[in-house]
Amino acid sequence: MSTKDIRTIIESGQARLGVEFGSTRIKAVLIDPAGDPIAQGAHDWENQLVNNIWTYDMKDVWAGLQDCYANMAADAKARYGAEVHKLAAIGFSAMMHGYIPFDGEGKQLAAFRTWRNTITGPASEALTERLNFNIPQRWSIAHLYQAILNGEDHVPQIRFLTTLAGYVHWQLTGEKVLGVGEASGMFPIDSNTNDYDAAMVDSFDALIADKGFAWKLRDILPKVLMAGDPAGKLTEAGAKLLDPTGALEAGAPLCPPEGDAGTGMVATNSVAQRTGNVSAGTSVFAMIVLEKALSKVHPEIDMVTTPSGKPVAMVHCNNCTSDLNAWVKLFGEFAEAMGMKADANQLFGTLYRKALEADGDVGGLLAYNYFSGEHITGFEEGRPLFARTPDSRFTLANFMRTHLYAALSSLKIGMNILLDDEGVQVDQILGHGGLFKTKGVGQRIMAAALNAPVAVMETAGEGGAWGIALLAGYMADKADGETLEDYLSNKIFAGKMGETVQPDAADVESFNAYIQRYRAGLPIERAAVECMKL
């Protein structure tokens, strides 16, 4: 498509916008009607540990969104000479789960508690037992019940409870809604009704009946919508909040807000049964669309849904690349101290590729990437940790491979339950996220971890912002009776199979041996948590 054609698409209001609030970056992707990205913008941000709670200030949400949007608009102007005034559709997504409560006047009652927190253990355990359904610590309902158990003063005042994606959508449209995939991280979904499980809602209300709250659970949760459903329009106030310059017109339709799990499924065309995807960035999670229910409740396995409501088994780990990134940054500082200026892509590429030269046993090295707690291995807090013995082969290749293994070790432990114990069948696994940016390295390590073929498409780097833009496009363009699966397969991903890496037998053996050392060394990490107090 020519520059002139794309300019016409933008200026005539045919483009669609997707924005995702990731853990370390807010990203906007503008796409054309065929789903191809045509402009992008980003804003870096970071969570804060305040009073032992991982959070983001809501002022940073809006400042970051506005900067991200402005950067996207500037990119469109620089590339095509086009001004963004109208949009055909918009979608917002964000990190799933968490806790943002409001009173009847729309006042925020407590600091945003993100998915990264592991402070709801008693609530998670009690709800899992009562509902006979795994309720992870990061889920919104676990945060709510923990606040009740804690006797927090704000709980009786709650009139609306939502997630980050739901909050942004509400402020821009006035609609208190969520896509079904995002809603499935607040409270269990009944895939027969594509709504909150009614029996479980009643059970929760009965559990807290003696508290005498003025609200019932369904009263305070967002309305659940399916992919393709209209979810409101950009209001005048919302347009000014998104684009303070006033250039953007109100009235654009919005699709249901989704979580990063759902947008990851869309971005990898992993919404049909027997497909799966792995998102590897600050956190890492694998999602497999199931053919049938699991045989029993596993505390390591979350049950969520696709944006179209199909049941999905999810292995979610709080920690992935944060420790890797910290080490790469350290090597970058060393390079600068030596008078060598290396950009981030060169640093990551050089160090990741070096890892492929490692010994089979990675020199006997050991690392834990726990910036925060990790429920898969039973940790409420984390301490990044590297350990070796006096006779370890402490080389750069072994060091980097060890940290790549550490980034995926918790995921491997959880996936072994799903693939080995439950016998779940998967035809394809597609990867996306920052771990896969260096071609062939993260993909090869992931294939070894899962002992399964892993494909990465050229669009993998676009991530969830592209995924929510596609959901906005689906809402705008879907034909009568056209499913999300058909829309993605026939109109977006046709002919885009991606490059697949098969697991190497030596790599699989190496990773399995590392996992044995990793499990045996968990008491070292426990000692670090106990001795290195925050």
Q: What is the pLDDT of residue 213?
A: 97
Q: What is the pLDDT of residue 95?
A: 93
Confidence of residue 98 (pLDDT cuts 50, 70, 90): very high
- H or E segment and range at residue 76: helix 58-80
First to last CA, the chain: 54
* Mean pLDDT value of segment 14-34: 96
Answer for the pair 75, 28: CB distance below 8 angstroms, yes or no: no
User: Distance (Å, rounded) from C-alpha 71 to C-alpha 519?
Assistant: 44
Q: What is the pLDDT of residue 457?
A: 75
Q: What is the pLDDT of residue 499?
A: 84
Answer for the pair 181, 257: CB distance below 8 angstroms, yes or no: no
* Mean pLDDT value of segment 477-481: 93
Find the farthest-apart pair of alpha carbons in the chain and give their distance in angstroms, rounded. 67
Dihedrals φ, ψ of 164, to 5°?
A: -60, -45
Interval 40-59: pLDDT, tens: 999 999 999 999 899 999 99
Is 122 a residue whose pLDDT tops 80? yes
Answer for the pair 267, 460: CB distance below 8 angstroms, yes or no: yes
Answer for the pair 454, 431: CB distance below 8 angstroms, yes or no: yes
Distance of CA 310 to the CA centre of its chain: 18
Interval 426-477: pLDDT, tens: 887 888 788 888 989 999 999 999 998 898 876 555 678 999 999 999 999 9
Alpha carbon dihedral 248, 254, 256, 262, in 10-degree steps, equals -60
CATH level 2 (architecture), domain 269-456+504-534 = 2-Layer Sandwich (3.30)
User: Distance (Å, rounded) from C-alpha 135 to C-alpha 184?
Assistant: 11
Give the lowest-confidence range in 140-149, 270-279, 452-461: 452-461
Distance of CA 466 to the CA centre of its chain: 13
User: Distance (Å, rounded) from C-alpha 34 to C-alpha 492?
Assistant: 7
Q: What is the pLDDT of residue 437?
A: 86
Count of CB atoms situated within 10 Å of the CB of 309: 23
Give the lowest-confidence range in 4-8, 128-132, 402-406, 451-455: 451-455
Average pLDDT of the residues of the chain: 94
* Mean pLDDT value of segment 344-368: 96
Structure tokens at 440: 């062939």
Answer for the pair 170, 92: CB distance below 8 angstroms, yes or no: no
Angstrom distances, CA of residue 314 to CA of 237, 278, 347, 417, 461: 37, 10, 32, 11, 21
DSSP β-ladder status, 428-432 and 275-280: parallel
Count of CB atoms situated within 10 Å of the CB of 497: 12
Answer for the pair 331, 442: CB distance below 8 angstroms, yes or no: no
- pTM of the shown model: 0.81
Q: Report the percentage of the chain scoring pLDDT > 90.
A: 82
- H or E segment and range at residue 91: strand 89-94
User: Distance (Å, rounded) from C-alpha 79 to C-alpha 522?
Assistant: 51
Pick the closest to residue 347 from 322, 323, 334, 328 (CA basis). Answer: 328
Interval 486-508: pLDDT, tens: 999 999 988 776 788 999 999 99
Q: What angle do CA 74, 233, 6 make, to 5 degrees?
A: 35
Confidence of residue 354 (pLDDT cuts 50, 70, 90): very high
Answer for the pair 152, 217: CB distance below 8 angstroms, yes or no: no
Spatial neighbors of 184 by CB under 8 A, at least 6 apart, are 303, 304, 305
Q: Spell 247-263 as b/e; 16+ CB within 10 A means b.
A: ebeeebbbbbbbbbbbb
Interval 327-341: pLDDT, tens: 999 999 999 999 998
Q: What is the pLDDT of residue 58?
A: 95
Interval 511-522: pLDDT, tens: 999 999 999 999
Is 393 a residue whose pLDDT tops 60? yes
Pick the closest to residue 122 from 150, 98, 153, 146 (CA basis). Answer: 146
* DSSP classification of residue 13: T
Count of CB atoms situated within 10 Å of the CB of 532: 10
Q: What is the pLDDT of residue 39?
A: 97
Q: Where are the beta strands (DSSP E) in 241-333?
A: 258-259, 275-280, 284-289, 302-305, 311-317
List own/partner pairs for 486-493 with CB under 8 A and 24 or more apart.
488/266, 488/269, 488/271, 489/269, 489/272, 491/34, 491/35, 492/34, 492/35, 492/269, 493/269, 493/457
| Residue matched to tokens 């750069």 | 396
Dihedrals φ, ψ of 368, to 5°?
A: -125, 130
Interval 176-214: pLDDT, tens: 999 999 999 999 999 899 999 999 999 999 999 999 999
Pick the closest to residue 261 from 294, 289, 242 (CA basis). Answer: 289
Answer for the pair 169, 91: CB distance below 8 angstroms, yes or no: no
Helix (H, G, I), strand (E, B) or coil at 167: helix
> Residue 101 burial (CB < 10 Å; 0-12/13-18/19+)?
buried
Count of CB atoms situated within 10 Å of the CB of 204: 23
Q: What is the pLDDT of residue 299?
A: 87
Question: Any idea how long the chain is?
Answer: 534
Confidence of residue 293 (pLDDT cuts 50, 70, 90): confident
